[in-house]
């Protein structure tokens, strides 16, 4: 699954650690999501969407 997390984070000038604090996860989790190595659970995807005030489908894109 592709996502725009890195772009959205950069727009706010946040580090991965800062985003991790906002999402209540580890920095390693943010890095894995950004690089597409980890697909977040639905609750975490909702937290991300709420944080950036965007619908989930505008952040995450199915590769299919």
Name the residues that contact other proteins, by CB under 8 A. 17, 20-21, 24-29, 31-33, 35, 37-38, 40-41, 44
Q: How far is the CB of 50 from other proteins (least distance, A)?
A: 11
- Which residues contact residue 26 at a Cβ distance below 8 angstroms, ignoring those fewer than 6 apart? 20
Q: How far is the CB of 43 from other proteins (least distance, A)?
A: 8
Q: Are 5 and 58 in contact (CB under 8 A)?
A: no
Output DSSP code: residue 39: P
**Please, which residue, 11 or 36, has the CB nearer to other proteins?**
36
Q: How far is the CB of 59 from other proteins (least distance, A)?
A: 17
Q: Give me the residue label for tokens 């390693």.
A: 28
């Amino acid at each position: 699954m592709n996502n725009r997390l890195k772009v959205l984070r950069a727009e706010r000038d946040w580090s991965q650690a800062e985003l991790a604090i906002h999402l209540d996860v580890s920095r390693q989790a943010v890095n894995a999501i950004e690089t597409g190595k980890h697909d977040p659970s639905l609750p975490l995807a909702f937290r991300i969407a709420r944080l950036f005030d965007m619908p989930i489908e505008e952040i995450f894109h199915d590769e299919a």
